[in-house]
A and B are shown apart, each in its own frame.
Chain A
Amino acid sequence: MAFLKLTFSKNKRDKLAQVLWILNWVSVVTGILLFSMGLFLKVEINKRVELMAERDIQYVPNMLIAVGLIACAINFLGGKICYDCVDTTKFLRWKLILLPYIMCTFFFTFCVLVGALMCYSMHGELEESLNLGLTEAIRFYKDTDTPGRCFLKRTVDLLQIEFKCCGNTGYKDWFQIQWISNRYLDMSKKDVLDRLRSNVQGKYLMDGQQISNNSAHFNYEHQTEELNLWMKGCRQALLEYYTHIVQSIGLTVLITWLFELSVLTGVRYLQTSLENGLRQGDLNSESDGWLLENGPDNVPPKQIPEAS
Chain B
Amino acid sequence: MVVMKMKFPFQKRVKLAQGLWFLSWCATVAGAITFTLGCILKTELRRRAEVMDNSDVHVVPNTLMIVGLASLGINIFASKICQDALDAERFPRWKNMLKPYFAVSCFFTVLMLLAVIMSCAMKGSLESSLKVGLKNGIRFYKDTDTPGRCFQKQNIDRLQMEFQCCGNNDFRDWFEVQWISNRYLDFSSKEVKDRIKSNVDGRYLLDGVPFSCCNPSSPRPCIQYQLTNNSAHFNYEYQTEELNLYLRGCREALVSYFMGLMNTIGAGVLSVFLLQGSVLVSLRFLQTAMEAVAGNENTEIETEGYLLEKSVKDTVMEFIEPVMQFFLFKNQVGEGSSEAQADP
A residues near B, CB below 8 A? 144-145, 150, 153-154, 157-158, 161, 179-181, 183-186, 217-219
Contact = CB atoms under 8 A, between A and B. Distances in A.
A183 B220 contact: yes
B234 A181 contact: no
A185 B219 contact: no
Contact of A219 (B183, B219, B233, B234): B183
Contact of B234 (A145, A154, A186): A186
B216 interface: yes
Contacts of A217: 184
Contact of B220 (A144, A186, A218): A144
Nearest to A144: B219
Given A153-B219, A154-B216, A184-B234, 9 more contacts: A144-B219, A161-B161, A184-B233, A185-B234, A218-B184, A218-B189, A219-B183, A219-B184, A219-B186
Given A161-B161, A183-B235, A184-B234, A218 B219 contact: no
24 contacts: A144-B219, A144-B220, A153-B216, A153-B219, A154-B216, A154-B217, A157-B216, A161-B161, A161-B216, A179-B221, A180-B221, A181-B220, A184-B220, A184-B233, A184-B235, A185-B234, A186-B234, A186-B235, A218-B184, A218-B185, A218-B189, A219-B183, A219-B184, A219-B186
A217 B221 CA distance: 21
A145 B220 CA distance: 10
A194 B234 CA distance: 17
Interface of B: 161, 183-186, 189, 216-217, 219-221, 233-235
A305 B233 CA distance: 106
Nearest to B161: A161
B15 to A, nearest CB: 34
A145 B219 CA distance: 8
A215 to B, nearest CB: 10
Nearest to B221: A180
B185 A150 contact: no
Nearest to B212: A161
Nearest to B192: A218
Contacts of A145: 219
Nearest to A179: B221
Contacts of A154: 216-217
Contacts of B217: 154
The 7 closest A-B pairs by CB, nearest first: A157-B216, A144-B219, A186-B234, A218-B186, A184-B220, A154-B216, A154-B217
Contacts of A218: 184-186, 189
Nearest to A142: B221
A184 B184 contact: no
B216 A158 contact: yes
A186 B220 CA distance: 14
A56 B321 CA distance: 81
Contact of B221 (A150, A184, A219): A184
A110 B183 CA distance: 65
A183 B233 CA distance: 12
Contacts of B221: 179-180, 184
Nearest to A219: B184
Contacts of A180: 220-221
Contacts of A157: 216
Contacts of B185: 218
A77 to B, nearest CB: 34
Contacts of A183: 220, 235
Contacts of A161: 161, 216
A217 B185 CA distance: 9
Nearest to A189: B234
The residue in A145, A161, A181, A217 that gathers the most chain B C-beta atoms within 10 A of its C-beta is: A161
Nearest to B220: A184
